[in-house]
C-alpha cells in the first residue's frame, strides 16, 4: 500500500461499505477510546500545546498500521490483524517499566466510505486482545481534505492522548513508520522515533531526528540508549 495516496479500491482490506456522509465526523472532533470502551468518545481536537518541562518518559504512543501491526489498506477485518515483528515484546517492555502506552491512528477510510466506526472499533479490540489493552486510543476519522487538526502530522491526536493520560507531551514519545508520525510528535512537543519500513520515504529517514531498525530498537532508544544502527541524527 502507498501510505501517502489513496489505496486502489480493490486492495486487500479495502471494501466500500457505507456512504461517507453517513458517518462523517465534523473536523473539530476526534475519536477517543479508553480501556474497555466499546464506542468512541467524540472529543474536541485540542488546539493548544500545553507547556511543560522535559523530564522522565511517562508515556509512549504508537502509530497502528505499519508500526504495531502490518499495514492492510483500510482494514476493517479483525482477522487480518498481525503484529509487526518485535511489537509484542516492545510494548511489554514499556509496560514492565511502568510506562503508559497508547495508539494514535489516522483512519481516513471512514471519511472515504471504506470503513464504518464499528469496523474501526472491532480492529481496535483485536489489537488490544493481542497486545493487552492500551491506555488510550486516539483516532482521526477524517480525510486529507477535511482540514482537521487531528490528522497526522497535525498534533491533535497526540495532544488528546496526552490529555486523557494526564501526561505532558514533553514527557511523551511517539513511534511511527512515516514522517507524518514524527511530524505530529514534533508539532505536539513530544519526542518522535521513526521505525522505517519499505514504504517509508528515503527523505523521511534522512530527516528523522531519532530512528531505530525495529520496535525493540525504538524501545531501547527510549529507555536507555541505542543499539547498532540506531540513535539520533
Residues recognised as catalytic = 63, 65
| Contact criterion met (CB below 8 Å) for 64 and 71 | no
User: Hey, what's the cell of 120?
Assistant: 474501526
> Residue 218: enclosing H or E segment and its boundaries?
helix 215-223
Show the DSSP H helices in 49-208 as ranges.
87-96, 109-112, 117-131, 156-165, 179-188, 202-207
From CA 14, how far away is CA 73, in angstroms rounded?
A: 6
| CA neighbours closer than 13 Å in the CB half-sphere of residue 71 | 20
Amino acid at each position: 500500500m502507498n501510505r501517502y495516496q489513496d489505496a486502489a479500491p480493490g486492495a486487500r482490506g479495502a471494501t466500500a461499505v457505507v456512504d461517507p456522509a453517513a458517518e462523517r465526523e465534523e473536523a473539530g472532533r476526534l475519536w477517543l477510546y479508553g480501556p474497555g470502551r466499546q464506542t468512541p468518545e467524540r472529543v474536541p481536537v485540542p488546539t493548544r500545546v500545553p507547556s511543560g518541562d522535559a523530564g522522565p518518559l511517562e508515556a509512549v504512543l504508537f502509530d497502528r498500521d505499519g508500526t504495531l501491526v502490518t499495514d492492510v489498506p483500510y482494514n476493517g477485518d479483525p482477522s487480518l490483524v498481525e503484529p509487526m515483528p518485535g511489537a509484542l515484546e516492545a510494548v511489554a517492555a514499556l509496560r514492565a517499566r511502568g510506562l503508559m502506552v497508547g495508539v494514535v491512528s489516522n483512519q481516513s477510510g471512514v471519511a472515504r466510505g471504506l470503513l464504518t466506526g464499528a469496523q474501526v472499533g472491532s480492529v481496535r479490540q483485536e489489537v488490544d486482545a493481542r497486545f493487552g489493552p492500551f491506555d488510550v486510543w486516539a483516532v482521526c476519522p477524517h480525510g486529507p481534505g477535511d482540514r482537521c487538526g487531528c490528522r497526522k502530522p497535525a498534533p491533535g491526536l497526540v495532544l488528546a492522548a496526552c490529555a486523557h493520560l494526564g501526561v505532558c507531551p514533553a514527557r511523551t514519545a511517539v513511534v511511527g513508520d512515516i514522517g507524518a508520525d514524527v511530524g505530529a510528535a514534533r508539532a505536539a512537543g513530544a519526542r518522535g522515533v521513526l521505525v522505517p519500513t519499505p514504504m517509508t520515504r528515503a527523505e523521511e529517514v534522512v530527516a528523522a531526528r531519532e530512528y531505530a531498525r525495529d520496535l525493540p530498537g525504538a524501545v531501547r532508544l527510549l529507555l536507555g540508549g541505542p543499539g547498532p544502527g540506531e540513535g539520533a541524527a
